[in-house]
Structure 1
């Protein structure tokens, strides 16, 4: 059996079409909101959540039945209706270059969305290859406890300091030491990361010169 290839897609300004207006479709739409994608929902009816997002201008809701032309320019396609025949029609309407996932047919899909957690720049995805979405959800819950909200500011700190180190530190050995040392529980839990970093920098710089 061929294994899947995990990727992180950048969807900014890409057209993503979600066909269906029920709870499953709403979950798919919600997961797309912060990606910068142009999200279009195609369905005669929609949940209150989908309607609210449309009223707020965050998505487009085309209140109509599906037609093959609805997915012509889509980068990603979510077939999320409760009608298997319609979902299969959506798959057949997609071009060979388009990515399609069917809510009721994982094997007939050419991509699926894993369970995941997001902590700022930190993204962790969990997939069982469709074997057990329940297990994937359980693992996600465990990881949510292990990687709490503190990681969001910690990743911002790491990104900022990595940029500074690469720009300001010329000594290659000192660079490596700094980049390694800041990835630690001490900096994760510190309330004074910037001050602690400068102390570390001065200490390692003296150590490297000796």
Structure 2
């Protein structure tokens, strides 16, 4: 079996089509909200939540059964009906350049949606390749406890500190040394990591 290739994709402005209007489709749509994707749901019926999202303009709901034309321009396609034949038809109708996820056929899907959580810029995902979403969820819960809310501010600090280091420190060895130093328990727990960082940066610069 070929290994999967994990990536994080920017969906802003890209079309995502979800075929199906039940709970599975609702979960797919909920995960897409906030990504900037242009979400279209194709289904004669829909859950109350999907109807609500359509009514406030967060998604587009086309009240119809699936046809091949529904996939035009789609970047991601979610076959989320409760009919395996329809889901397979959707997969066959997609072009080679389109990525399809089938809710009832992980092995036949082009991609899987991992169990995921966010701490600001920190994004952590767990996947079993469709083998056991339940196990992926349990591991995610463990990681959520390990990487709690304090990491949101910490990772934001690391982002801004890295930009400054890259701009102000010219010697490669010094640069690596400072970048390694700020990724530590001391900086994570520091009550004033900005001041600690400035002292570190100042000292390193004076040593050059």
Long gaps (5+) in structure 2: none
Residue 126 of structure 2 corresponds to which residue in structure 1? 126
Residue pairs, 1:141-180, within 5 angstroms: 141-180=141-180
In structure 2, what is the Cα distance between the partners aligned to 1:179 and 1:173? 10
Aligned to 2:94: 94
Query: What corresponds to 2:64 in structure 1?
Result: 64
Q: How far off is 1:157 after superposition?
A: 0.7
User: Any runs of at least 4 consecutive aligned residues in structure 1 with deviations exceeding 4 A, and if so which?
Assistant: none
Structure 2 equivalent of residue 48 of structure 1? 48
Task: Determine the C-alpha separation between the residues in 1 that align with 2:52 and 2:74.
Answer: 23
Offset, 1:204? 3.0
Is 1:24 equivalent to 2:24 in the alignment?
A: yes
TM-score, length-normalised on structure 2?
Answer: 0.94
Alignment of 1:205 with 2:205, yes or no, is yes
Give per-residue Cα distances to partners, 1:155-192, cap 9 Å, x unaligned: 11111010011112223332222111111112212232
1:76 CA drift (Å): 0.5
CA distance in 1, matches of 2:179, 2:105: 45
Which stretch of the first structure deviates more once superposed, 170-179 or 15-24? 170-179
Aligned residues: 208
